[in-house]
Amino acid sequence: MAKKYLMGVDVGTQSAKVIIIDLEGNIVCQGSQALRKMDIPAPQLAEHPDDDLWDSLKIAFHRVMTRFNEEVKGSAEDILSIGICIIRCCRVLLKENGQLAYPVIDWMDKRLNTPYEHKAAYGDVRYVTTTSGYITHRLTNEFKDTCANYIGWWPMDNDTLDWSKDDELIKECNVPREMLFDVVKPGEILGVLSDEAGKTIGLPPGIPVVATAHDKAVEALGAGSLAPGIGLISLGTYIGALVHGRENMKEAKNFWAFQASVPGRYLYECMGVRRGMWTISWFCDQFGEGIIDEAKNQGITIEELFNREAQKIPAGCEGLLTIHDWAPPVEAVYRKGVMFGFDGRHTRAHIYRSILEGIAFTVKNHMDKMNQELNTPIQHLIVSGGGANSNVFMQIFADIFGVPTSRNQMKGSAAIGCVINAGMAVNAFDSYEQAVEKMVHKDDEFKPNLENTKFYKKLNEKVYAHVNPHFDPILKELSALVD
């Protein structure tokens, strides 16, 4: 009997990835393509240039299918289904024929903080949808989307998992029903691969294309963080902190309840770190040029060289702290990134480690409030994303949180979540729990260093937790002068 496969599509802020996995969770092959640099037409605006999401995804499909055909010697006829997960919190404006009326508006754009308002520059807009709705249309020609990727100004009813019938909410969101796609639940079929799309990406038409959820929910499923007391740290351009739940907790004060990638369940997410891993890339880009040859001579990346250097720096970076407000929160737009505590001891390794510690402190403080409100303390952390490859970063999380912290063999767990949803749609698994057991393969676990945990606790309580009230007044003055 021919071996069968599932395909996952994961398009994030910085890259498009396609993965093929067998039914036991073994990665058969992968293909990826970096997205182009974001267009910033004005401060606090962010757009994906031209048709970059689809163009990048086509390249990623081509690369994975070339490897599948030539190296694996696999047959595309044995791919059972395709699960798709595309960047959340974006806004996509389409013409009547489903083509882009305007470039995709990214989640970092301030226009996403308010309801949709038509502008002349948008042209002839027939549909307002998400990135997953758009890519679904590209693949299937259907005007359908997952119900679980509508966060923000959308008239979505998260109890019924369908469009709201509340006239006031519809009016408030300013998107009438006729401008919205039909929706299905995660793990349900959106449509089948069209003839045109199949020819474009090198797959036979007719393969079911399956709904997942918003990217963090798909990542949480693919990380295997379903049990109470298990938290996920998602290391992306936006760093999220999440736990699964079973109730739509609408009155929560310290987190949001979003639809999960398991239908009928919810994902609780506290405030994260905007431009989180971007900050690390920024540091490497700006300050890594002088060590390019040094890294090449050792056969490693600049990031790995910094990680090795940072591992030698003591916890707390000998007094150097980083506050991660490179992209400020909506409620405090005047905030900016801050590094303070410099003295003559500090090196590039101190700065790098301070950036890592600042991320972990920020996430810890937000997550503590969520877990206290839920009355469910975190007993174990799972870290996903490319940053999970860093041993020093993993140990920092374990030490600051004071709990065992692990990573999975597949660091980009959104791709695993995609194939779990894809498999559920075609009855490849009996349950989500069984799918997680088969598809999620654990890797290293990091135990907290108790001495470091005690020190970090004091540093957080006495200094880090009080930084914003002290810096806010002067940053307001600075913002008024330079913004």
3-class secondary structure per residue, the chain: CCCCEEEEEEECCCEEEEEEEECCCCEEEEEEEECCCCECCCCCCCECCCCHHHHHHHHHHHHHHHHHHHHHCCCHHHEEEEEEEECCCCEEEECCCCCECCCCECCCCHHHHCCCCCCHHHCCCCEEECHHHHHHHHHHCCCEEEHHHCCCCCCEECCCCEECCCHHHHHHHCCCHHHCCEEECCCCEEEECCHHHHHHHCCCCCCEEEECCCHHHHHHHHHCCCCCCEEEEECCCCEEEEEEECCCCCCCCCCEEEECCCCCCEEEEEEEECCHHHHHHHHHHHHCHHHHHHHHHHCCCHHHHHHHHHCCCCCCHHHCEEECCCCCCHHHCCCCCEEECCCCCCCHHHHHHHHHHHHHHHHHHHHHHHHHHHCCCCCEEEEECHHHHCHHHHHHHHHHHCCCEEEECCCCHHHHHHHHHHHHHCCCCCCHHHHHHHHCCEEEEECCCHHHHHHHHHHHHHCHHHHHHHHHHHHHHHHHHHC
Torsion of CA 382, 386, 389, 392, to 10 degrees: -80
Same domain, 149 and 244: no
Residue 24 domain-assigned? yes
pLDDT of residue 1: 61
Number of domains in the chain: 2
Res. 171: pLDDT tops 70: yes
Q: If you average pLDDT over every residue of the chain, what do you get?
A: 94
Res. 322: pLDDT tops 80: yes
Residue 258 domain-assigned? yes
Among 145, 179, 211, the domain boundary falls at: 211
Spatial separation of the C-alpha atoms in residues 270 and 120, rounded to whole Å: 36
Banded model confidence at residue 286, pLDDT cuts 50, 70, 90: confident
Residue 16 domain-assigned? yes
Residue 218 domain-assigned? no
Same domain, 272 and 159: no
pLDDT, mean of residues 159-178 = 96
Write out pLDDT tens, residues 187-200.
999 999 999 999 99
Same domain, 46 and 172: yes
Residue 216 domain-assigned? no
Same domain, 337 and 444: yes
Same domain, 192 and 326: no
Residue 460 domain-assigned? yes
Same domain, 389 and 478: yes
pLDDT of residue 323: 93
Residue showing tokens 């949001």 = 256
**Whether the predicted model's global pTM rises above the 0.75 cut:** yes
Residue showing tokens 């003591």 = 314
Spatial separation of the C-alpha atoms in residues 292 and 301, rounded to whole Å: 8
Write out pLDDT tens, residues 62-120.
999 999 999 999 999 999 999 999 999 999 999 999 999 999 999 989 999 999 999 99
Same domain, 165 and 291: no
Residue span of the structural domain in which 17 resides: 5-211
Same domain, 205 and 268: no
Same domain, 295 and 185: no
pLDDT, mean of residues 351-369 = 96
Among 178, 211, 244, the domain boundary falls at: 211
pLDDT, mean of residues 358-384 = 95
Same domain, 98 and 242: no
Contact 197, 139 (CB under 8 A): yes
Write out pLDDT tens, residues 198-231.
999 999 999 999 999 999 999 999 999 888 999 9
Write out pLDDT tens, residues 398-442.
999 999 999 999 888 899 999 999 999 999 999 999 999 999 999
Spatial separation of the C-alpha atoms in residues 414 and 9, rounded to whole Å: 9
pLDDT, mean of residues 275-300 = 85
pLDDT top residue among 360 and 303: 360
Among 183, 211, 239, the domain boundary falls at: 211
Res. 448: pLDDT tops 80: yes
Res. 161: pLDDT tops 90: yes
pLDDT of residue 292: 83
Res. 327: pLDDT tops 90: no
CATH number (domain holding residue 130): 3.30.420.40
Residue burial 328-364, b: 16+ Cβ < 10 Å; e: rest: beeeeebbebbbeeeeeebebbbbbbbbbbbbbbbbb
Same domain, 152 and 251: no
pLDDT, mean of residues 28-37 = 95
Same domain, 198 and 246: no
Residue 146 domain-assigned? yes
